[in-house]
Amino acid sequence: MKFLLDNWYLIALALGSGAMVVLPMLKQSAAGGQGLSPSAAVNLMNRERAQVIDVCEKAEFDAGHIGQAKHIPLAELEAKLPAAVKNKTLPVILVCASGMRSAKALAVAKKLGYEKSYSLDGGLSAWKAANYPVEKTAA
């Protein structure tokens, strides 16, 4: 017991580092474990003809988006996704600016029956950081 009292700061440090290791894994499993890195997204797009759906607002989409992405704001996703992606066997990659809205969109897509749906980890920010091209909508 004396050891624990004398070294409380080491124990706190060990617990803190353990939490920093476990927390990202818990976050990913809470999102269904369907996060995708930008390079994995490119592979899916090239090899399996994955459809990219951008769930940002119109102004964000116009400012920059992944080429060939279809724009469906998150609020309209449940109503418009079935018309935009008719083949539910093809992979669907959901994208937003940071990955937060696309994680929510992932739950909607799964509910609609798109089993091969993924959220782009880090969103468009991660895509840009990986130096992949971004298109802008002409004004």
In a domain, 139, yes or no: no
- Do 41 and 26 share a structural domain? no
- Total domains present in the chain: 2
Amino acid residing at 98: S
Whole-model pTM above 0.85? no
**pLDDT band per the 50, 70, 90 thresholds, residue 29:** very low
| 4 and 60 together in one domain | no
Domain region containing 15: 1-30
User: What's the distance, CA 54 to chain centroid?
Assistant: 10
Same domain, 12 and 59: no
Could you tell me the two tokens for 131? 């130096």
- Three-class SS of residue 69? coil
d(CA 14, CA 27): 20
Q: Which two tokens stand for residue 63?
A: 């400012």
Q: Which two tokens stand for residue 89?
A: 């066997």
Is residue 134, in this structure, part of any structural domain at all?
Answer: no
8 A C-beta contact, residue 94 and residue 80: no
pLDDT tens for each residue of 43-90: 999 999 999 999 999 999 999 999 999 999 999 999 999 999 999 999
